[in-house]
Amino acid sequence: MQWWVNKSADSSFFGYKTHIAMTEERIITVAVITTGEKNDGKQLQVLIEKSKATGMEVKTVIGDTAYSEKDNIAYTKENAIELVSKLNPSITHGYRKHEEEFQFNKDAGMYVCKAGHMAIRKARNGKKGVGTNQVDTFFDVEKCKRCPFKDGCYTEGAKSKTYSVSIKSAEHTEQMAFQESEYFKEKAKERYKVEAKKSELKHRHGYDVATSSGLLGMELQGAMAIFTVNLKRILKLMK
């Protein structure tokens, strides 16, 4: 079974989010309703487990960037599920400030600043496989003190000058390769189906505004709206 996930909104607001799982036939299988501040990516594993509990076999998940966090990549890999969800651009391109001012010398394995000074050593920060890791490269601070480009680069009185680059985890590296494949690109095009379903819920069934207060009231409203759109879809498929 191929499967889509999405949420109502990703920005800050007063209200609720509805995270849904939907089959390729556009039948909603699971919905998790949370308060607005809840992280979207954290709901993925819950949606998958709830879908499995109903007897569904999940082979592929198609979702937006919110669902490609590291834990979800590891989880889907362990469960033999393809995760068609693009990585956050900050992960794909790395966290590099002033990228144009530092170039990597592949022969020396060190970064060189725009003044032509090469780093004198480097060190890795963080534990392998845990959290965000980075490599810190250290420059000769005496050269930095006399550098004509020191404004905005070197802080007067600083005892060291470093340039840091984040390290991609094994999970992120594999996902980067996967998202460049033709298979991934073709599957990603099908995300419009869940967007269309969200639009149907909101504009045809009044699911853009809560009709009562409290999470329980929202869950009841969601159950009725989702039951209605599912019934409509089933009747259409039966024709």
What is the residue whose two structure tokens read 């810190």?
136
Q: Give Cα separations from 17 to 122, 131, 220 (angstroms).
A: 44, 27, 14
pLDDT at 224: 96
Helix spans in 9-97 (H): 44-53, 70-78, 89-92
* Cα separation, 181 vs 199, whole angstroms: 29
* Count of CA atoms in the C-beta half-sphere (13 A) of 20: 29
What does the pLDDT read at residue 93?
A: 62
Please indicate, yes or no, whether the overall pTM of this predicted structure exceeds 0.85.
no
The reported pLDDT for the residue numbered 226 is 96
pLDDT at 210: 86
Name the residue among 158, 237, 212, 222 with its Cα closest to residue 30. 222
Look at strands 121-125 and 2-6 and give their pairing: unpaired
Residues 233, 163: Cα–Cα separation, whole Å: 55
* CA pair distance 159, 144, nearest whole angstrom: 10
Domains parsed from the chain with CATH numbers: 16-90+172-238 (3.30.420), 94-168 (no CATH)
pLDDT in tens, 165-211: 776 778 888 998 999 999 999 999 998 999 899 999 999 999 988 88
CA 138 – CA 81 distance, rounded (Å): 41
Give the phi and the psi of residue 208 in degrees, each rounded to 5.
-90, -15
Residues of the chain below pLDDT 50: 1, 3, 5-12
Q: What is the structure's pLDDT at 173?
A: 86
* pLDDT score recorded for residue 126: 62
Q: How far is CA 98 from the centre of its chain?
A: 24
